[in-house]
Structure formats: C-alpha cells, structure tokens
A and B are shown apart, each in its own frame.
Chain A
C-alpha cells in the first residue's frame, strides 16, 4: 500500500476540473477502513450475530452452574476445564472458547469473511467501488483488515462475556494452571487475553480462507456455506485416527491448542506450531485471493 497517488488532473490547464487536492495516503486508507468498519459493525445482521455469540457463554455458564449444584463437584463431561470451573469462574472463558470454536465462532466469522467480496459483487456495488477507483489490492486489504477486527471482536466478546458470567456465578481468585502451579488472578487474566489473541489469530486465518472463497462467487451465501463446510470437513478429518498423518496440517487442528498458554512454563513449541499453521493458511489463501481478485473480470 505504498504507491503515491498524488495526481494532477489530466487537464492541468484551464480545464473545467481543477487539480485534485492530494490527500495523504495513510489518511485516505484509514478513511476507507473506517467506512468498511462501520459497514460491517453497524450492519444489523452482524450485530445480531455478535449478540447471539455473546449469549452462548451466559447459557453455558448458567447450565454448568445448575449442573454443578446437586453433585457439588462439577458436571465433568469431556471438557478438561469443567472440573476447575467450580473453583474459579475464569475457567468459564476457556470452556466457552472450546465449545464455541467448534462451530459458532467459525460460522460467525464465515458470515463476514464470505460476504466480504461476494456480498459487494451480489449487490453490484463491487463494480462501483472499483470504478471509484478503490483499487483492487487496496479494497482487498481493507476488507481483510476489517475481517481481522471482526475476528478479534468475536473472540473478545466470548471471553469477555464468559469472564463476567463466570465471575458472577462462581468464585473467582488465584488461578490454578493445567500444570498444577497457581498464579495470581491478574496473571490469569493476562493469560486469558493471550489465549483470546491466539484464538483471534486462528479466526483471522480462517477469515483469509473465507476472503479467498469470497472472490470466487457473487453469491455471499455460497461463500459462507463453503467456508462452513470447509471447517466441518477439517474438524471431521481431525477426528479420524486414520488421518493422523495429515492432521497437523489441517486448518482447524491447532485451534484448541490455546491451552498451551495455561501451563507453566508456557508450551511455546505447540503455540508456535499453531501460529505457524495460521500464518501459512493466511499466506496461501491471501495470495490466492489477491491473484484471483486482481486479474478477474468483474461481471456482476
């Protein structure tokens, strides 16, 4: 995004159009970014998606609170954090992330990512944005930046609401990590923030895949469904023992590895593998989206 576009009017002479006032490049980019941000976050559909996402941690918290009462020891189940929950409400955040990462969060991200280019094509506004000219690379960069912001918003909505609900329904205090060591509540919350950033990175990487799919169609719903199917297929493959060889390369494989941050010392090896996986998918699909979008005819 470094090209200078300070342009003088082609008719710099006494033509009817005076030379255009140059606008700072970064400022112009930010203006477009803010416009796209408003477009995504003020859209009622997306607000409702965020609202529904916020509802889940509350429901999970209330459910686990009710279930924990009669036995006094927590529902257990297959979730590793549930036993800790009755001792510390902060664990509701990790439980909520684990549950919602399976489908709810990816689908919510898929709606915004799949809609990004395909939605514009569907409305026909893509041709007008390009004729403005928004610039194909610039438009893609702005779209992806907003997807990243949305991924952050979805993740922090889940952890934030879960933390508040957990604090309201369960005791809260020093956090006993998965490795057995106990850290202060402040450090626990710091680790929760890091966990959220890790999960947001996973969602941002998924968003790049969604952006790529979105450049292939002018039907937003097709791109959204395509990405959702992609996620489910990857998760299913991740569960089949016979696929063990390819599992580390699946896009969803490292999503739940955020528990590496809940050990002392932090399991940085796992963490880095996860982040590398997200980066690789981001680069591959980001490049694909760019290559496709900058060379394809816009016929919508």
Chain B
C-alpha cells in the first residue's frame, strides 16, 4: 500500500549517507489505516499522529498526547484558540520541532526522520509568511526553489510564474517583499507552497491579520487547491473563517484534541433545545420537568431545556393544558460557533 521508495538509481551515491537520510524500510508495510480504500494511492491518512506530545524545557506541556487523523483529500480545519498548541503541532509535523514523545506521519512517512523524503510533497505556510525583505517576490520564490533538491531548475522560471499567477501576484512579482501588503505577503507564502506539485498543503493561520476581502481570497484559494485533490490542513482560531471550506475539523484546547471528525459530526453533537417565552417561567419549568425534559433552565421570562425526543407540538399542548401563558415557543440548535466555543472555552481562559 505504502509505496515510498528511496531510489537507488541515482548516480549520486548510496542512500543513508547522513543523519538526514530517509529510512524507507521503516515505512514499507506499515498499516496505513483500516479505512484504506482500494482505489486510493498511498496511505489513507495524509497526516496521522499517535500520542504526539511536546513538553517545553520549562515543563509546560504545549501539546498533550494528540491523535490526529487527517483523511487524504479532505480539507481539515485545525481549530483552537491562540496558545492551544496548534502551531507547535504543525512545527512537529513539519520536522521543525522534535516531539517529546509520540509519533507523527505525513503521507505515511514518519517524521521527523522522513523529512527529506516527504516534505517535497508538502507545501506549507507556518506562522505567517517570512521572506527576505530585500528581495522581490520572484527572487524570493527562486530562493525557495533553489533550496529544494527535487525541483527541476529547468522548469523553475515557469513554475514560479505559474505559482505567482495562481495567487494573483504576477503583476507585483518584481516588487520588493518589503513593500508588499500583508495580504500580498500571505499570498506569496501560499505561492511558495505551490511551487511544485503537492499532495498536502499545511496552512497555519492563513487568514491571520487579513481583511475580509483577503480572507475571502484565501478561502477561494483553499477551495481551488482542494479541488485539485490536494489534502489541505488549515489551522485557525476562528471557526467562521474556515467552516465554509472544511470537510473535517479537529479542535484543540490547551494542548489536547477535544474533538475530531467530519464537520457534520460536530454539527450533530449540538443538541436542539426548546425555548419557551412565557409569563409564568416557574410553572412552565415544572411542566417540562413533569413531562420528562431534563434540567429546564429559567432565564428571565424564558425557559429552555434539551428537546431530546419530544416534539415541540406536544410540549406546547402540555403547557397550554397546564394553563401556562405561552408567548413564544421555538426550537434552537446551537450554531457551529457556539459548539466550538463550548469545546474550546470562552475568551481568555487559556491556561499557560
């Protein structure tokens, strides 16, 4: 299933020359995933981790035993407030930081050992764009391309132009990076991720600091990338910014993965509640309790309770029957945003 091979056909020498040499033997035969579909090439998971943990020198646990499973071809929203461990996780996935314990695999190749082997197939934007301010956009991309030992120098100029064109920077290619707007910088970083054909694109906070227009552009780019069959792993602290493009989400809270699955599954976890506007909230709560709704909550002249299996019509009839003056009645389903906030906690409660 897993067919990553370090070729020995090259005249350059035998594999395994340095500490960074890829170790393909360790990869072969590794169980990719029970859900591997027969038509999918390679492992079914583009990113997978088991018990991935990062403890900083001070003892602080930034990432705490997370088990990521990012299906191939998905757009995976990696969500969580600032400081919840998203960037540290991404740094470990890309081999920039070394995990304290646990394993990580990109496209079925263990990281960080397989970095040299697998990273050419992975485009990334890590914690904001970073380029040389004294070079223009094109020269900056040329620099990235020159560092890639798998990139063909003969096609470099074409590939750079294509990538620039794709993010709409062709006209500004000759401008120094120093003079780029934030949105242009962000797009240049995405262009760098598209220089060569990729199977996975990792975008860490791609909409950070962008205006709504820029955010929309980035979302459009993500859609286009995903339409090409490339797996997109996109982190954000704002669900609203990515929910329109994501097929799957993982939610982080203080270093732990508190939810992971298809977006629909997250939506389903949101239980509908009945909301009754009434002149006698206390009596209404009694009625709800009597017919079997758990734990009704009174807030002002409103009573709410989990709807469970009851039909709103029947509840309404029961209330009227008990002589409760019903002014309004409705079923409320929590928005994705509310579910997200429920998972990650409200505001500034990220503990250090």
Q: State whether the Cβ of B335 lies closer than 8 Å to any Cβ in chain A.
A: no
Q: How far is the CA of A132 from the CA of B115 in the complex (A)?
A: 9
Q: State whether the Cβ of A136 lies closer than 8 Å to any Cβ in chain B.
A: yes
Q: How many A-B residue pairs have CB under 8 A?
A: 204
Contact B22 A7 (CB under 8 A): yes
Contact with B along A113-142 (1 / 0, CB 8 A): 000000000011101111111111111000
Contact A124 B146 (CB under 8 A): no
Quick one: closest B residue to A294, CB to CB? B19
Q: How far is the CA of A2 from the CA of B16 in the complex (A)?
A: 8
Contacts of B127 in A (CB 8 A): 124, 127
**Interface-lining segment among B128-136, B161-169, B208-216, B343-351:** B128-136
Q: State whether the Cβ of B14 lies closer than 8 Å to any Cβ in chain A.
A: yes
Q: How far is the CA of A181 from the CA of B108 in the complex (A)?
A: 71
Q: How far is the CA of A257 from the CA of B151 in the complex (A)?
A: 46
Contact A6 B7 (CB under 8 A): yes
Q: How far is the CA of A130 from the CA of B19 in the complex (A)?
A: 15
CB distance from B33 to the nearest CB of A (A): 14
Contacts of B117 in A (CB 8 A): 5, 7
Q: Give the contacts of A1-56 with B (CB-CB under 8 A).
A: 1-18, 20-29, 31-32, 34-35, 39, 43-44
Q: Which 4 A-B pairs have the closest CB atoms?
A: A124-B130, A13-B41, A25-B12, A2-B17
Q: State whether the Cβ of B95 lies closer than 8 Å to any Cβ in chain A.
A: yes
Checking A2, A14, A139 against B13 with a beta-carbon cut-off of 8 angstroms, the contacting residue is A2
Quick one: closest A residue to B133, CB to CB? A123
Main secondary structure on A side of the interface with B: loop
Checking A17, A128, A139 against B144 with a beta-carbon cut-off of 8 angstroms, the contacting residue is A128
Contact A12 B18 (CB under 8 A): no
Taking residues whose C-beta sits less than 8 angstroms from the other chain, chain A's interface range is 35 or more
Contact B144 A298 (CB under 8 A): no
Contact B4 A10 (CB under 8 A): yes
Contact A133 B8 (CB under 8 A): no
Checking B7, B17, B95 against A8 with a beta-carbon cut-off of 8 angstroms, the contacting residue is B7
Contacts of B21 in A (CB 8 A): 3
Q: How far is the CA of A124 from the CA of B126 in the complex (A)?
A: 9
Contact B131 A134 (CB under 8 A): no
Contacts of B20 in A (CB 8 A): 3, 135-138, 294
Q: State whether the Cβ of B142 lies closer than 8 Å to any Cβ in chain A.
A: yes
Q: State whether the Cβ of B15 lies closer than 8 Å to any Cβ in chain A.
A: yes
Quick one: closest A residue to B12, CB to CB? A25
**Interface-lining segment among B75-83, B194-202, B234-242, B245-253:** B194-202
Q: Give the contacts of A246-300 with B (CB-CB under 8 A).
A: 294-295, 297-299
Contacts of A297 in B (CB 8 A): 91, 96-98
